[in-house]
């Protein structure tokens, strides 16, 4: 059977990005274990964590006493709370926890206004005004009904910071997954790329819920909460990153498949549509980042991520063009 890559014993061909970032004329397959940039033999420096580029070594050992400082920094880092090195991941977790506490307080001492003010219902993507529901399309309304819609598209983003107040494991499992995988991905691609990927995946999750309204009218009126779409996007992005580095990602793929399959269990009340949307967008965003890595391709990377964001925003307005009712 024909394959697209080289067979065993054949010489692999260098790609466009397989050149040293400091010496563009030198080709290499070696990547810095810290920043992921391609480095030639001259720029490679062996370290306890693998091969590093010269810039990363300078960042970790700046000053006249580089070796001593590296050793001291390693000891200090071991005593620190490791999460402080991942500002975006920990900030997202903190925001989710704060919002969840406000949800709990609002639910027990108020009218649940925090949750209802942030959750997402696909009808919030309909144009303002009255919309007619066809007879028989909605359970309990055999003669049809009218929906007074309010266009509030920002909820497609705010929903990713809410969780179910009646099921504590919802936020616990989501934040645990983000803590475990988000830190590694943030370190791998950088904080700003990680933030962009997380938000795009979260928007993709909301889009999955919204677009399912074309297939199931009942789903248009079902509120959703949770960061699961964005979390699944982070997991899918990690798989793409591992595959690009020829790292065995089988266990992660199995974990992703099992968690996705749980959404189809009867009575689970889990939005598999959000999981699917988040996975697709997270994988696409990571593929763009992988294919455009390197200093010379930064502009191209920014453009393609902006194109992806624009496409998602355009899809979020689909109900304004073709109503699902």
The single residue listed with the structure tokens 């790329």 is 193
Do 53 and 165 reside in the same domain of the chain? no
**Residue 56 belongs to what domain range?**
13-80
Residues in a beta bridge with 38: 31
DSSP structure class, residue 38: B
For residues 236 and 256, the answer to whether their CB atoms sit within 8 Å is yes
Query: By CB neighbour count within 10 A (0-12 exposed, 13-18 middle, 19+ buried), where does 263 fall?
Result: middle
The verdict on residue 299 lying in a domain is yes
pLDDT-derived band at 51, boundaries 50, 70, 90: confident
| Same domain, yes or no: 135 and 203 | yes
Residue 245: name the closest of 234, 233, 237, 255 by CA.
Answer: 237
Q: Pull the structure tokens for residue 313.
A: 């925003």
Q: Is residue 3 part of a domain?
A: no
**Are residues 153 and 124 in contact, defined by beta-carbon separation less than 8 angstroms?**
yes
Bridge partners, residue 148, by sequence: 130
For residue 301, the Cα-to-chain-centroid distance in whole angstroms is: 17
pLDDT tens for residues 289-316? Answer: 999 988 888 899 999 999 999 999 999 9
Residue 147 exposed, middle or buried by CB count within 10 Å (0-12, 13-18, 19+)? middle
Tell me the pLDDT of the chain averaged across its residues.
Answer: 84
Q: Which comes out higher in pLDDT, residue 222 or 280?
A: 280
Domain with residue 270: its CATH number is 1.20.1540.10
CA distance 52 to 202: 33
Which tens digit of pLDDT belongs to each residue from 132-161?
Answer: 877 766 766 767 778 888 899 999 999 999
Residue 74 sits in the same domain as residue 98: no
Q: Which residues have C-beta within 8 Å of that of residue 141, sequence separation ≥ 6?
A: 133, 135
Same domain, 132 and 107: yes
Domain count, the chain: 2
Decide if 229 is inside a domain: yes
In this predicted structure, which of 50-54, 101-105, 169-173 has the lowest mean pLDDT?
50-54
Q: How confident is the model at residue 84 (pLDDT cuts 50, 70, 90)?
A: low
pLDDT above 60: residue 214: yes
pLDDT number for residue 67: 47
């Amino acid at each position: 059977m024909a394959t697209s890559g080289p067979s065993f014993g054949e010489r692999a061909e260098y790609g466009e990005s397989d050149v040293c970032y400091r010496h563009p004329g030198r080709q290499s397959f070696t990547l810095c274990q810290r920043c992921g940039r391609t480095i030639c033999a001259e720029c490679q420096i062996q370290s306890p964590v693998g091969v590093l580029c010269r810039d990363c070594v300078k960042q970790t050992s700046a000053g006249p006493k580089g070796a001593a400082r590296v050793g001291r920094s390693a000891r200090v880092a071991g005593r620190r709370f490791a999460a402080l090195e991942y500002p975006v991941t920990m900030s997202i977790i903190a925001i989710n926890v704060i919002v969840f506490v406000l949800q709990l307080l609002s639910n027990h001492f108020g009218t649940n206004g925090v949750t209802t003010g942030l959750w997402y219902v696909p009808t919030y993507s309909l144009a303002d005004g009255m919309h007619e529901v066809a007879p028989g399309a909605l359970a309990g309304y055999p003669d049809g009904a009218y929906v007074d819609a309010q266009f509030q598209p920002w909820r497609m983003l705010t929903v990713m910071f809410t969780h179910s107040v009646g099921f504590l494991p919802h936020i616990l499992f989501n934040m645990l997954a983000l803590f475990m995988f988000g830190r590694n991905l943030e370190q791998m691609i950088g904080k700003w790329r990680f933030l962009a990927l997380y938000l795009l995946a979260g928007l993709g999750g909301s889009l999955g819920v919204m677009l399912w309204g074309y297939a199931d009218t009942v789903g248009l009126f079902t509120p959703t909460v949770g960061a699961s779409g964005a979390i699944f996007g982070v997991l899918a992005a990690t798989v793409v990153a591992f595959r690009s580095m020829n790292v065995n990602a089988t266990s992660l793929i199995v974990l992703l498949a099992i968690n996705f399959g749980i959404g189809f269990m009867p009575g689970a009340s889990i939005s598999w549509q959000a999981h699917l949307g988040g996975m697709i967008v997270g994988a696409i965003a990571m593929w763009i980042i992988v294919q455009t890595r390197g200093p010379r391709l930064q502009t191209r990377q920014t453009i393609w991520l902006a194109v992806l964001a624009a496409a998602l925003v355009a899809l979020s307005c689909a109900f304004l063009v073709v109503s699902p009712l």
